[in-house]
Amino acid sequence: MKFLILSEISELKLKNDENYIVFEKSHEDFYSKKINKSKLQIYNPNILRKIDKNKSFDFCDKIYEKILKDISIELNKLHDVTLSYKSWEIIFGNWLRYFIWTCYERYTSINKTINNIDIKEILIKKDNNFEFHSRDTEGIYYDSIDDEWNSNLYYKVLKYLNIKNLRIFPYDSIKKEDNKYITNKITFKNKILKSLLNIFKIINTENSAVVSKTYLPTFYEKLFEILLFQVPTYWDFGNINYRKYDYGMRKKLNLDYEKKTNIENFIRKNIKFFLPISTVESFQDLMEKSQNVGLPKNPKFIFTSNDFEHNEIFKFYVSKLNDKKIFNYYIGQHGVYFSDIRGDKLRSEFSTPNKFLTWGYSDSKKFVRSFNFCSLGRKKYQNSNNKSKKFLITVMPMDYKIYPYSNMHYLEKGFSNVLDILKSSDEKITKNAIVRLHEIFKIRKGKFYLKKYFDDKSLNIDFGAEAFHKARQNSRLTFFNYDSTGILENLSLNYPTICMWDDFDECISDDFINKYRILIDAKILFLNRDDLKIHLNSVWDNIDEWWLDKKTQNCIKLFNQNFNIQGNLSSLLNLKKICLN
């Protein structure tokens, strides 16, 4: 018999004559100093093959469709409004998907474990007064990697499943560290520009298009607005003062659920405790603010590639217009969607806009082929002449546990790949390596990984002090340890690039396996460390001999074709035509 540990329990004393299992590698690290390693095992039943990942997505999507319909009705009653199903999907559709995926993963992990292993006792921490809600829809990302949030969620699942063999430890009443990191650092120059553009918005009319965070470089985004014959504008959505959690208000939300024990009924029973403040307590405030921040009342169209996700004011504004049915709504591609099974069309940015504007891919009338917004006007690669010595390593940002299967092992494998490549490469490469990390590694779980993998003082760590396009331009070669949007940007501008991630066949959508194998043939994408290290050491002294070789260049052109199109001024005019149709 074994003990299952679901939390980081500092006071827990482990015995060397007992066997323990954990789901997380981070939990194995936490307990490894407390016991003989042979007595501690990682058991994760939700590390799935692609076929089972897709089944999980499909299963969860059926739950999503039913719950979104029912929770929309309940929220309309609560707020005395009549927003449509689609308007609620605009407001919090992706949050709901992530929440369902997260609950499914935690629920099935426990179910599979107790059904497959003889568990003597489950050891867990819980807080009797814990509140699961976040302020906004973005909060679920940070909650999903928070040990206390997960521990209390696991406890809810265990109680729902009526599991009795629990040993419960209390949480200390210590104020939690803020999970959010500071983003969008603004230079003095950009502050002045935004202030001027904010003033100019009063010149625009109630029919002006709303163009916001499109992923176009700032100059070209403003040029696009000029091409629309309107004054370039910076939309200031302001700050939000969120109300406090109101249990009494949430008690009024009641989704019907059956007595039968299953994941859908678990979600139906508990979702009201998890909904973001933005959808419950602060709903009226946000709706009112969205109508009074100076946005056009009747825009000819709305185009964004970013604000649709976590800009609460923007989403409320769009949701209100959606019910009036008086505008066209366009969302632009902003990541590696179609090739990654995690983004395979089960997202609100595909279902809510009139058109989804891609960087080159199209399989329907709704998915309109455009161009790579990020790379427009950026400097293309020129012969290196070996002047630059920098080796830019772009590391996967913190992944989040929001999928219906386990995914965090890919994060740690990626870190190990980076360190092994640095350790085994020629000294002239490693001494010029710059490890580029996301700022999320400065907080909570991120700090754990930063210390574990990148605490070596000899490493040159960069937290994005230099804009990526400049860092790339000043480097001889860029390496990505994950399927990054940056790879597409680099290849559209023809910058020397190599990349590698584990379980390639399990992570790439079947429709794009052959597309990515083109990069393998060009020695851009590698499936194992040894092949990458051999290639890196062999081409470092003369990158252009490999990169500008006819075979490599033909492979890049073939990969980019109908998938990753480099734009120009003509493309911007065509974008105008798409948006005005």
Q: In terms of residue numbers, what domain contains 27?
A: 2-42
Q: What is the pLDDT of residue 344?
A: 59
Q: pLDDT tier at 15 (50, 70, 90 boundaries)?
A: very high
> Does residue 305 sit in the same domain as residue 356?
yes
Q: Is residue 255 part of a domain?
A: no
Whether pLDDT at 176 is above 90: no
In angstroms, how far is CA 563 from the centroid of its own chain?
21
Q: Which residue has the tokens 């798409």?
A: 578
Whether pLDDT at 62 is above 90: yes
Q: What is the pLDDT of residue 428?
A: 94
| 119, amino acid identity | I
User: What's the whole-number mean pLDDT along residues 190-212?
Assistant: 73
User: Which uninterrupted H or E stretch holds 126?
Assistant: strand 119-126
User: What's the whole-number mean pLDDT along residues 214-240?
Assistant: 95
Q: pLDDT tier at 181 (50, 70, 90 boundaries)?
A: very low
Q: What is the pLDDT of residue 385?
A: 60
Kindly tell me the number of DSSP H helices and DSSP E strands found in the chain: 24, 16
Whether pLDDT at 290 is above 60: yes
Express each pLDDT in 29-59 by its tens digit: 999 988 998 999 999 999 889 999 999 999 9
In angstroms, the first-to-last Cα distance of the chain is 66
> Does residue 225 sit in the same domain as residue 330?
yes
User: What's the whole-number mean pLDDT along residues 450-474?
Assistant: 92
Whether pLDDT at 228 is above 70: yes
Residue 514 CB contacts under 8 Å (≥ 6 apart), including other chains: none
71 with 57: CB under 8 angstroms?
no
State pTM to two decimals.
0.94
> Does residue 357 sit in the same domain as residue 498?
no
> Does residue 398 sit in the same domain as residue 473?
yes
User: Cα–Cα distance between 578 and 389 in angstroms, integer?
Assistant: 43
| 3-class DSSP state of 352 | coil
Q: Is residue 409 part of a domain?
A: yes
DSSP codes joined into one string, 42-57: E--TT---HHHHHHHH
464 with 441: CB under 8 angstroms?
no
Q: Is residue 520 part of a domain?
A: yes
Which three-class secondary structure string do you get for 160-225? HCCCCCEEEEECCCCCCCCCCCCCCCCCHHHHHHHHHHHHHHHHCCCCCCEEECCCCCHHHHHHHH
30 with 146: CB under 8 angstroms?
no
Q: Is residue 61 part of a domain?
A: no
> Does residue 332 sit in the same domain as residue 453?
no
User: Cα–Cα distance between 518 and 487 in angstroms, integer?
Assistant: 14
User: What's the whole-number mean pLDDT along residues 16-24?
Assistant: 95
Q: What percentage of the chain reaches a pLDDT higher than 90?
A: 83
Q: Is residue 397 part of a domain?
A: yes
User: What's the whole-number mean pLDDT along residues 310-336?
Assistant: 92
For strand 166-170 and strand 210-212, is the pairing parallel, antiparallel, or unpaired? unpaired
- DSSP bridge partners of 168: 124
User: Cα–Cα distance between 519 and 51 in angstroms, integer?
Assistant: 24
For the record, the structure tokens of 143 come out as: 């909650």
Average pLDDT, the chain: 92
> Does residue 293 sit in the same domain as residue 219?
yes
The one-character DSSP state at 131 is -
Whether pLDDT at 270 is above 50: yes
For the record, the structure tokens of 116 come out as: 């497959």
> Does residue 444 sit in the same domain as residue 523?
yes
**C-alpha gyration radius of the chain:** 25
User: Cα–Cα distance between 239 and 141 in angstroms, integer?
Assistant: 20
> Does residue 341 sit in the same domain as residue 370?
yes
User: Cα–Cα distance between 63 and 526 in angstroms, integer?
Assistant: 37
Length of the chain: 581
Express each pLDDT in 396-446 by its tens digit: 998 899 999 999 999 999 999 999 999 999 999 999 999 999 999 998 889
Q: pLDDT tier at 326 (50, 70, 90 boundaries)?
A: confident
Q: What is the pLDDT of residue 444?
A: 80
> Does residue 347 sit in the same domain as residue 441?
no
> Does residue 448 sit in the same domain as residue 518?
yes
Task: Please count the structural domains in the chain.
Answer: 3
Q: What is the pLDDT of residue 200?
A: 61
Residue 29 CB contacts under 8 Å (≥ 6 apart), including other chains: 452
> Does residue 343 sit in the same domain as residue 455?
no
Number of other CB atoms surrounding residue 369 within 10 Å: 16
Residue 523 CB contacts under 8 Å (≥ 6 apart), including other chains: 498, 535, 546, 552
Whether pLDDT at 17 is above 80: yes
227 with 574: CB under 8 angstroms?
no
Whether pLDDT at 343 is above 70: no
Q: What is the pLDDT of residue 198?
A: 62
> Does residue 410 sit in the same domain as residue 430?
yes
User: Cα–Cα distance between 296 and 314 in angstroms, integer?
Assistant: 12
Q: Is residue 246 part of a domain?
A: no
441 with 396: CB under 8 angstroms?
no
Q: What percentage of the chain reaches a pLDDT higher than 70?
A: 93
User: Cα–Cα distance between 93 and 98 in angstroms, integer?
Assistant: 9
Q: Is residue 273 part of a domain?
A: no
User: What's the whole-number mean pLDDT along residues 350-354?
Assistant: 94
Nearest to 286 by CA among 255, 317, 251: 317
Q: What is the pLDDT of residue 182?
A: 46
For the record, the structure tokens of 134 come out as: 């976040």
The arrangement of strands across the sheet holding 433-436 comes to: 461-462, 433-436, 391-394, 477-480, 497-500, 525-526
Q: Is residue 473 part of a domain?
A: yes
Express each pLDDT in 138-151 by its tens digit: 999 999 999 999 99
User: Cα–Cα distance between 121 and 195 in angstroms, integer?
Assistant: 60
DSSP codes joined into one string, 84-107: -HHHHHHHHHHHHHHHHHHHHHHH
Number of other CB atoms surrounding residue 164 within 10 Å: 8
User: Cα–Cα distance between 332 and 357 in angstroms, integer?
Assistant: 5
* Burial group, residue 96, by CB count within 10 angstroms (0-12, 13-18, 19+): buried
| 106, amino acid identity | R
Q: What is the pLDDT of residue 185?
A: 53
The CATH code of the domain that includes 509 is 3.40.50
User: What's the whole-number mean pLDDT along residues 116-144?
Assistant: 96
User: Which uninterrupted H or E stretch holds 540?
Assistant: none
User: Cα–Cα distance between 553 and 518 in angstroms, integer?
Assistant: 11
User: What's the whole-number mean pLDDT along residues 530-547?
Assistant: 96
